[in-house]
Amino acid sequence: MPSKPAAPITIDAVYAAPGYLFRRMQQIAVSIFMEECKAFDLTPVQYAALIAIHTHPGIDATRLSAVIAFDRSTLGSVIERLQAKDYIERKPAPEDKRIKLLYLTKSGAAILREIIPAVKRAQARMLEPLKPADRKALMGLLVQLVDLNNDASRVPLRAEDALEHLGKGG
Amino acid sequence: MPSKPAAPITIDAVYAAPGYLFRRMQQIAVSIFMEECKAFDLTPVQYAALIAIHTHPGIDATRLSAVIAFDRSTLGSVIERLQAKDYIERKPAPEDKRIKLLYLTKSGAAILREIIPAVKRAQARMLEPLKPADRKALMGLLVQLVDLNNDASRVPLRAEDALEHLGKGG
DNA sequence: CAAAGATTGTCAGTATGCTGTCAATCTCGA
DNA sequence: TCGAGATTGACAGCATACTGACAATCTTTG
């Protein structure tokens, strides 16, 4: 049998590669989110940050970055923009001069309540083309994969560890 | 029956949302790619662009953006960097002064050959935590979803349409 | 042919995401 | 206690991504 020739290098191989499909799907997800939420002037990242601060009032930036798996550097500018829009406020921590604690403002809590339906529509639209059983299957596999690959990312999710200081760990 | 209370808004809802999972998986995929390919100084985006130019020599930037579903604006700087690294060259099109045609240099073709094994390792690692049957299932669903959602993204993939000018359409 | 319209590459502006560095500050061990 | 080491927030720099605008150029149409 002749030795198998090297597979031709073409763009079609890229179309079937997991990395390409993940990038593409993220692109699509952001696009749908922005479309459904265009009345609110909030990005997916800013939304996630608001929800996290709402869930953990008084969290600091470093712990927040672990809770939503954002880069610590990136998060700085996200916080700045949320503060500029008056959705959050930062208070110095009395017992540690390095830390600034994050809280939702009334505006922030209000927009969070208002945007929820749009976000739910967006999340539904992303999976809409699939049959209901396939949606479940896909989400199940994705949850597994993201969890099992957690440490492969530079900023692994540390939902639990990050919150011990708030007295909610355990 | 009492009316169902509004679901509490917490970060846990975000962890299960498709948009969050896609973002996270993309983050992980890029991280794995960069790790496997760190010897080559090529990003996933730059790799895809090189492959596409290799598959379609003499393509122009606008068509290239359709073939790999990149934003046309973003692609400009990607091309610039590939050119700075001497992996591609741009030649003016004789029949249209607006267009610059893209070609791989010898360096570009060489690095493409060399990086393939690392890219394959990276793609395999992304799915490694899943059982083989689950990998297939996930890829199948993702291919479907990306295809069916193609028009939802701002820069839909136009693999076929884009190539008519090269005499390869049909 | 000339004007209207479309296309191409480019640029400015905004928003993630990452690497790396730094000063201020805190913690812990000798 | 004091100094080494860790932590925190901030910053610089690079690389996607997207919106919107623009001049140069090409195409279509009246």
Nearest residue for C8, CA–C1' = B98
Cα angle for residues B9, A168, A68 (degrees, 5° grid)? 50
Separation CA B22–CA A93 (nearest Å): 34
Tens of pLDDT along B63-76?
Answer: 999 999 999 999 99
Q: 3-state class of A101 per DSSP?
A: strand
Q: Does A50 touch chain B (CB under 8 A)?
A: no
Give bridge partners of residue A91 from the DSSP assignment.
A101
Question: Would residue B4 count as lying in a domain?
Answer: no
Separation CA B167–CA B170 (nearest Å): 8
Nearest CB partner across the interface for B139, out of A18, A130, A154: A18
Question: Would residue A1 count as lying in a domain?
Answer: no
pLDDT value of position B6 = 62
Question: Would residue B9 count as lying in a domain?
Answer: no
Domain tally, chain A? 1
Strand D proximal to B45 Cβ, under 7 A: yes
Nearest residue for D25, CA–C1' = B98
Contact at CB, A26 and B31, closer than 8 angstroms: no
Query: Domain range holding B56?
Result: 14-166
Residue B47 in tokens = 């790799």
Tens of pLDDT along A108-155?
Answer: 999 999 999 999 999 999 999 999 999 999 999 999 999 999 988 877
Question: Would residue B2 count as lying in a domain?
Answer: no
pLDDT category, B155, cuts 50, 70, 90?
confident
Question: Would residue A90 count as lying in a domain?
Answer: yes
Give bridge partners of residue B103 from the DSSP assignment.
B89
Residues of chain B contacting residue A52, judged by C-beta atoms under 8 Å apart: 11, 14
Residue A21 in tokens = 């499909």
Protein-contacted bases of chain D (C-beta within 7 A): 7-13, 15-21, 24-27
C1'-nearest nucleotide to the CA of A71: C17
What is the residue-wise DSSP string for chain B?
Answer: -PPPPPPP--HHHHHTSHHHHHHHHHHHHHHHHHHHTTTTT--HHHHHHHHHHHHSTTEEHHHHHHHTT--HHHHHHHHHHHHHTTSEEEEEETTEEEEEEEEE-HHHHHHHHHHHHHHHHHHHHHHTTS-HHHHHHHHHHHHHHHHHTGGGSSS---TTGGGGGGT---
Contact call for residues A100 and A77 (beta carbons, < 8 A): no
**B window 96-135: Cβ near strand D (< 7 A):** 96-98
Separation CA A153–CA A39 (nearest Å): 33
Residue A34 C-alpha, separation from nearest chain B C-alpha, in angstroms: 11
Supply the pTM of this predicted model. Answer: 0.92
pLDDT value of position B153 = 82
Q: 3-state class of A99 per DSSP?
A: strand
Contact call for residues B122 and A152 (beta carbons, < 8 A): no
Question: Would residue B6 count as lying in a domain?
Answer: no
A130 DSSP 8-state letter:
S
Contact call for residues A9 and B51 (beta carbons, < 8 A): yes
Contact at CB, B17 and A123, closer than 8 angstroms: yes
Nearest CB partner across the interface for A48, out of B20, B21, B142: B20
pLDDT category, B152, cuts 50, 70, 90?
confident
CA distances to A18, A95, B10, B160 from A53, rounded to whole Å, are: 32, 20, 9, 45
**DSSP strands (E only) in A96-162:** 96-104
Q: Does A101 touch chain B (CB under 8 A)?
A: no
Contact call for residues A61 and A88 (beta carbons, < 8 A): no
CATH assignment of the domain containing B29: 1.10.10.10
Residue A168 C-alpha, separation from nearest chain B C-alpha, in angstroms: 14
**Per-residue pLDDT at B86 exceeds 70:** yes
Strand D proximal to A52 Cβ, under 7 A: no
Which pairing describes strands B59-60 and A88-93: parallel, antiparallel, or unpaired? Answer: unpaired
Question: Would residue A7 count as lying in a domain?
Answer: no
Q: 3-state class of A28 per DSSP?
A: helix
pLDDT category, B1, cuts 50, 70, 90?
low
Question: Would residue A18 count as lying in a domain?
Answer: yes
